[in-house]
Structure 1
Amino acid sequence: MNTPVTPEQQAEIDNLRESPRQTLRVISEGMEQHLYTAHPVLDHGFVRVVDYMGDDAAICQAARVSYGRGTKSVQNDEGLIRYLMRHWHSTPFEMCEVKLHVKLPVFVARQWIRHRTANVNEYSARYSILDREFYIPAPENLAAQSSVNKQGRSEVLEGDEAARVLDLLRQDAMRSYDHYEDMLSQDGQQGLARELARMNLPANIYTQWYWKVDLHNLFHFLRLRADAHAQYEIRAYADALCDIVADWVPAAFGAFRDYRMDAVSLSAGAVSVLKRRLAGETVAQEDSGMSMREWREFQEIWG
């Protein structure tokens, strides 16, 4: 695996980490350990924390609308955070923010950008030339199309078929980048403008951006993208972010895990079926009021 950061970026990171500054603002000791550290994701990608604001106490402070940390104990703060999460009181979580530097394949970025409740500034291929870096899946992540889920994968490709697909991915990526370079203005040729030459590049080329988001909307992102049903590539980034957030706001992340990530949401029909089952009734899909797909999802959880 190649190093995910350039020598220039690593020099900047090293310089920043070696020059700590005193501050009067509240800090999170867990998050301080992540500042400016590039956490590798996929083959060439990374996530790193550039800046952040707030901690668990900031959530409670906003909920109580008080000054400072007050007289409440850590245990009381955790109880309040769990109450806020349990009852969907989201505004206090918006008091915490994080700014991330992310390097990711373009096709992952196009999924990611659908979360519009954030501030984004992306590396511009209109002004700069993109690096020759492409996401090539590891063999264990090459899978056929699912026959029951139009958005999902099925069995992992093996042997000659896996090798054939990997060769095509590499060849197409390299060929398109060769043509990209050929189209740019160089060697005395007039060439094509960068903003036009980039249109020939594949969706697995890497881009970079700064992404700033509050904790409430970051939790929404993680609930969807760290889910087992999410596409593996974006889930890899979400999993890395989960580790960071758990160190940043441990009480809030614990509540989020319990009441969002690992929780189950029930429809009125599902509640009715559960009550009937608890009363000793045998309930089949035909008299449940659920569609076949709803029933299958219900059975996956409740049997």
Structure 2
Amino acid sequence: MSKLSEDQSNEIEEARSNVSSTLRAVSPGMEEILYRSMPVLDHGFVRVVDYMGNDGAVVQAARVSYGQGTRQVSEDRALIHYLLRHWHTTPFEMAEIKLHVKMPIFVARQWIRHRMASVNEYSARYSVLDREFYIPRPEHLAAQSTSNKQGRGEVVGPQEADRVLRLLVEDAERNYDHYLEMLNSKEDGTRVDDARTGLARELARMNLSLNYYTQWYWKTDLHNLMNFLRLRADLHAQYEIRVYAETILDVMKRWVPITHEAFVEHRLEAATFSGEALKALRRLLAGEKLEQSDTRMPKREWEEFRAKLGIA
């Protein structure tokens, strides 16, 4: 289960109890989950801290209008689908979201590659990290793929899984014990030996492994959020970051349901073709029998092309 500190839980309850009226446009779906923690992995979570705008903000920006007026929902839906279908970007930059995310450090290092966001991370130079580390479930322990240098292959057997899980737990526990020893600190922050100074936090932290948890506030606009989700909610993305993306995708559905609908239609469930692949597709539709040698596509693109078309 994800774990919030007592202070964080109290902060959430206090924030949700302070209800105020506003003239700003709000999203009913987001108001239901605002500040609440949604668990991810064994100790992680995602929660919405703040947001600005909704589907109407996208439409308003595209039309440069003053407000909702007399438009119909069907008109807004058609416009948003048009914008995404034709790769318009700036109208979606007019809506923003700020998330509080707790995730393993190795997930954070993948995540930070999406640079179009403002990020403020928990400082292990200032505070002592908790004894919380990610341990995968056995079904997510897989061997290295033989065809993809950055992917997983077959799930390992039960004996191998037990051995790996034992090593992960033992190493993480040992490293944390040594982390506290170098700090000359107990888990509650009190000193162990008053005669010993202890190492600086910024140095002691280097002993911790990448499966320890970190936290950050992550603020981005809707356009860049969709770029993140297009890559990380994909079935080929690493599982540990994909589950965060799937949680955020559900948040997006609550926040901007029409944009979410269009995003799934024109990005997540859509396929793009190179010029050569499009020529091959036209020839197939004309009834030709094609092999890779009949095209200028390399083997990998040919295989991807066939997979997009559902050809075994």
TM-score (normalizing by structure 1): 0.98
The equivalent of 1:249 in structure 2 is 256
The equivalent of 2:34 in structure 1 is 35
Task: Give RMSD over aligned pairs.
Answer: 0.8
CA contact (8 A) 2:138 2:158 kept: no
Alignment of 1:200-279 (within 5 A): 200-279=207-286
Deviation at 1:50, TM superposition (A): 0.3
1:75 and 1:274 map into 2 onto residues whose CA distance is 33
Unaligned residue ranges in structure 2 (runs of 5+): 185-190
2:223 and 2:3 map into 1 onto residues whose CA distance is 28
Alignment-mate amino acid for residue 269 of structure 2:
D
2:123 and 2:95 map into 1 onto residues whose CA distance is 28
The equivalent of 1:110 in structure 2 is 109
- Please say which of residues 186-195 and 57-66 is displaced more in the overlay: 186-195
Deviation at 1:276, TM superposition (A): 0.9
2:273 and 2:68 map into 1 onto residues whose CA distance is 37
Alignment-mate amino acid for residue 111 of structure 1:
Q
The equivalent of 2:138 in structure 1 is 139
Deviation at 1:73, TM superposition (A): 1.0
1:62 and 1:4 map into 2 onto residues whose CA distance is 39
Alignment-mate amino acid for residue 142 of structure 1:
L
Deviation at 1:158, TM superposition (A): 2.1
The equivalent of 1:150 in structure 2 is 149
Q: Deviations over 1:148-179 (max 9, x none)?
A: 11111111122211000000000010111111
1:33 match: secondary structure: helix
2:3 and 2:251 map into 1 onto residues whose CA distance is 18
Alignment-mate amino acid for residue 60 of structure 1:
V
Q: Deviations over 1:272-295 (max 9, x none)?
A: 001111112111111211101111
1:23 match: secondary structure: coil
1:254 match: secondary structure: helix
> Across the two proteins, how many residue pairs are aligned to each other?
302
Alignment of 1:73-222 (within 5 A): 73-185=72-184, 186=191, 187-188=193-194, 189-222=196-229
1:90 and 1:72 map into 2 onto residues whose CA distance is 22
- Please say which of residues 116-125 and 156-165 is displaced more in the overlay: 156-165
1:246 match: secondary structure: helix
The equivalent of 1:280 in structure 2 is 287
Deviation at 1:301, TM superposition (A): 1.7
State the 4+ residue runs in structure 1 displaced beyond 4 angstroms.
none
1:4 and 1:35 map into 2 onto residues whose CA distance is 18
1:231 and 1:159 map into 2 onto residues whose CA distance is 21
1:202 and 1:218 map into 2 onto residues whose CA distance is 28
1:163 and 1:114 map into 2 onto residues whose CA distance is 32
CA contact (8 A) 2:46 2:102 kept: yes
The equivalent of 2:12 in structure 1 is 13
2:33 match: secondary structure: coil
1:134 and 1:158 map into 2 onto residues whose CA distance is 23
2:287 and 2:51 map into 1 onto residues whose CA distance is 52
Deviation at 1:16, TM superposition (A): 1.0
Alignment-mate amino acid for residue 223 of structure 2:
H
Q: Deviations over 1:101-156 (max 9, x none)?
A: 00000000000000000000000000000000000001111111111111111111
2:236 and 2:110 map into 1 onto residues whose CA distance is 14
1:117 and 1:135 map into 2 onto residues whose CA distance is 27
Deviation at 1:4, TM superposition (A): 2.2
Q: Deviations over 1:237-282 (max 9, x none)?
A: 0000011100110000100100001000100011000111111211
Unaligned residue ranges in structure 1 (runs of 5+): none
Deviation at 1:34, TM superposition (A): 1.4
Deviation at 1:70, TM superposition (A): 2.1
2:73 and 2:288 map into 1 onto residues whose CA distance is 46
Alignment-mate amino acid for residue 202 of structure 1:
S
